[in-house]
A and B are shown apart, each in its own frame.
Chain A
Amino acid sequence: MDTYFLMQIINGLSSGMIYALIAIGFTLIFGVLNVVNFAHGEMYTIGAFAGIVCISTLSWPIALVIIVALAVGGFSGIILEKIAFKPFRRFQDEASLKSRAMRESTLLSSLAVSIIIKELLQHFFGAEMQSIPVQYLMNDPIPIGPISLSSGQFLILGSSVVMLAGLQYVLYHTRIGLSIRAISNNPLGAKYVGLSVDRTIIATFAVGSMLGGAAGIMVGLYSGAIFPAMGFAPSLKAFVAMVMGGLSSIPGAVICALILGVCEALATNFMTQGWSDMVAYSFLILTLIFFPQGIFGARRERV
């Protein structure tokens, strides 16, 4: 095969991996609450900013910076839940749990929180791109034959595998994972057998936002770009991947995110990049028409 196409596939996989990192947290929260968390892209931004603060003021090693981003992301997720989701779950009866109005109001409240976070970050850090010291930048060329990889691609690939494996372990081998799956499958049933719905939802937000926060700083180190609006474009792609993957299948969302990234990179061969966003939207439309359940969404169990 032409090395050109090989290189484009690698470019595509690395941007697809970024969409996948965001899509994991997105899908997890959707699976449990059945609502879209529009502030998920901001958890990603917050993680990135927490990381840059550690780097520029404390100059900690990268591993520690990622752990801080993870922690700050998880903490922000819990606060987000308390502000934007909890107030709309006041009534625990069957009718309100299933009501559409409740779902739509949380959708809007998470959108509002996302705008507030973006404006606050812009107020404190300015709208300019934050620069990352060169020694932290994960962009060193690693030539392998005719193709060129970068250290950041290995970091993102490695950590997404670790995160995905860790998440699967938590979901299938721990008590909290069991309750997350139970609630995502049947919230009322889970409630009636005595599971604490609130606590599980908080745990889901913490886990999902931790992954988002870590993704933010890793992408920041890889692409060298941290700014308040950075979460918007990739979270839109992650959203498309989530819908394509069947809304609540995590492996489905990851695979679709990779497909999306590769197709976008290959599309630049046939059209200018200015049009390549069309790839994501046409995939979204085609999925909705031909696979209303999503490509990987046919199974009953959701997380």
Chain B
Amino acid sequence: MKIRNVFLAVAFMAVTLMASTAMAEKVIVLGYSLPLSGSHAQYGEVFRNAAKLQLDKFNKSGKLKGATVEITFEDSKSDPKEAINIARKFVDDKRIVGVLGDFTSTVSMAAGRVYGSEGMPQLSQTASHPDFTKVSKYQFRNITTMAFESPFAAKWAASLGFKKFAIIAIQNDWGISSAENFASAMKGLGGEITSIEYFNPGNRDFRSILTKVSRDKPQAIYLCMMYEEGAMALQQRRQLGITSQVFGTSSLYSPKLLELAGKSADGLMLSTTFMPDSPEPNVVEFVTEYKKRYNSEPNMFTAQAYDAVGIMLDAIAKVGPDVTRSSLRDALAQTKDYPGVTGSTTFDPVTREPVKNMARMKVEDGSFKLVK
């Protein structure tokens, strides 16, 4: 009898303890729609890793008194239909005050229409299509658009004397807008575009495209693609003996590109917002923490997600534990000089576009070197 009583007492105490902590700590939930399976799963994986890292850091920091934040991850498979279903689910969940994601502009914009009509703030770490923030006043992003980045690369190339370009771009919203923005900026600077070649997502054989674009003898080639495709294109370019200079979008920036392309990557020039070997203290902290926890190097995509989650959490901290969807949106819109690992970020008060600084890099002897 005695022992049973002790057990009962302990059980009762445990239940009351749990209940009391639950009452004291309010839980604020964010949704994260990202590809965890399918052909873009490798990006989703690093987004989730970065988000968990940032979230743990935030909850430990005590910036938000009286509440903890949680993130619910949903697998969109990089499919617009899936992302719309997830958006409906997030919108119906009254606990969710804001949403992060998705990965590609196409998927983010499809889901964005749901978030826009239901008044849910959405912050994508990577959607860089110019129209993304035009979906509604609830869309934000932590990446400079190709309307900013492509002209930046064009100006840089022109200043080095490269004015006759061929463009190879992935055939999706992002690739098309990258290529078109670059082409119009180049033409504005008095340059010439010999051809724009689009390829299907998932294609790994660039030999026939490279053979075709090099027939027009461009001075340089601008690659608008992800780093995995970029590595293949660079290798096959070397095999075909094409020697024109290569410029690329920031999406090519990844240690994996060097690993996959080897010495074929030498000479590649690109613009980027994130450099893991930067001496900035917050970057050093992020890189060492990430390596310790996940045993791999963070890339530009990891950093984008880390900062996107950080910006969202900062906005929540500003409003306090009674945050709602509309107060979170307003706090996000007022983001100013957020000190992230991808540089300091401010949202333009009118367009909600992020204003950031970009770095220029060149691959030399198998590593990325900062160009002054």
Residues of chain A having any CB pair with chain B under 8 Å: 4, 7-8, 11-12, 14-15, 119, 122, 126-129, 131, 134, 137, 139-141, 143, 148, 150, 223-225, 227, 229-230, 232-233, 264-265, 268-269, 272-274, 276-277
Residues of B within 8 A of A148 (CB): 239-241
Q: How many residues of B contact A (CB 8 A)?
A: 35
- 5 of the cross-chain contacts (CB-CB < 8 Å) are A11-B208, A127-B39, A264-B208, A274-B171, A274-B200
Cα-based distance from A11 to B197 in the complex (angstroms): 17
Q: Are A126 and B205 in contact (CB under 8 A)?
A: no
CB distance from A228 to the nearest CB of B (A): 9
Q: A141-B238, A224-B231, A230-B204 are known; give 7 further A-B pairs, CB within 8 A.
A: A14-B207, A15-B205, A128-B228, A129-B228, A233-B203, A274-B198, A274-B199
Contacts of A15 in B (CB 8 A): 205, 207
Interface pair B209/A273, CB less than 8 Å apart: yes
B135 to chain A, nearest CB (A): 25
Q: Which residues in B have their C-beta under 8 angstroms from that of A265? A: 207-208
Indicate if B260 sits at the interface (CB-CB under 8 A): yes
Of B39, B45, B199, B231, the contact of A272 (CB 8 Å cutoff): B199
Measured CA separation A150–B264 after assembly (Å): 14
Residue from A137, A225, A276 within 8 A of B262 (CB atoms): A137
Q: Would you call B235 and A224 a contact (CB within 8 A)? A: yes
B328 to chain A, nearest CB (A): 32
Closest 9 CB pairs of A and B: A127-B41, A274-B171, A11-B207, A265-B208, A134-B262, A127-B42, A128-B42, A273-B199, A148-B241
**Considering the chains assembled together, what is the distance between the CA atoms of A139 and B171 in angstroms?**
26
Inter-chain contact A127/B45, CB cutoff 8 Å: yes
Name the contact of B41 in the complex, choosing from A122, A232, A273 (C-beta under 8 A). A122
Task: Find the B residue at minimum CB distance from A153.
Answer: B239
| CB proximity of B5 to chain A, nearest CB, Å | 48
Say whether A272 contacts B171, CB under 8 Å: yes
A42 to chain B, nearest CB (A): 15
Choice from A8, A224, A232 contacting B208 with Cβ under 8 Å: A8
Residues on the A chain within 8 Å of B197, using CB: 268, 272-273
Asked whether, in the complex, the Cβ of A129 is within 8 Å of the Cβ of B41, the reply is no
Tell me the bound Cα distance from A233 to B207 in angstroms. Answer: 16
Bound Cα distance from A127 to B46, whole angstroms: 11
Partner of A8, one of B171, B211, B232, B241: B211
Q: In the docked arrangement, what's the CA distance between A131 and B228, Å?
A: 10
CB-defined contacts of A230 to chain B, threshold 8 Å: 204
A141 touches B240 (CB 8 A): yes
Residues of B within 8 A of A14 (CB): 207
Closest chain B residue to A5 by CB distance? Answer: B211
Which residue among A4, A7, A12 has the maximum number of chain B CB atoms within 10 Å of its CB? A7
A221 to chain B, nearest CB (A): 12
In angstroms, how far is the closest chain B Cβ from the Cβ of A215? 15
Known: A15-B205, A139-B239. A273 touches B200 (CB 8 A): yes
Closest residue of B by beta carbon distance from A14? B207
Q: What A residues does B369 contact at CB under 8 A?
A: none
B183-216 interface code vs A (CB 8 A; 1 in, 0 out): 0000000000000011110111101110110010
Residues of chain A lying within 8 A (CB to CB) of residue B89: none
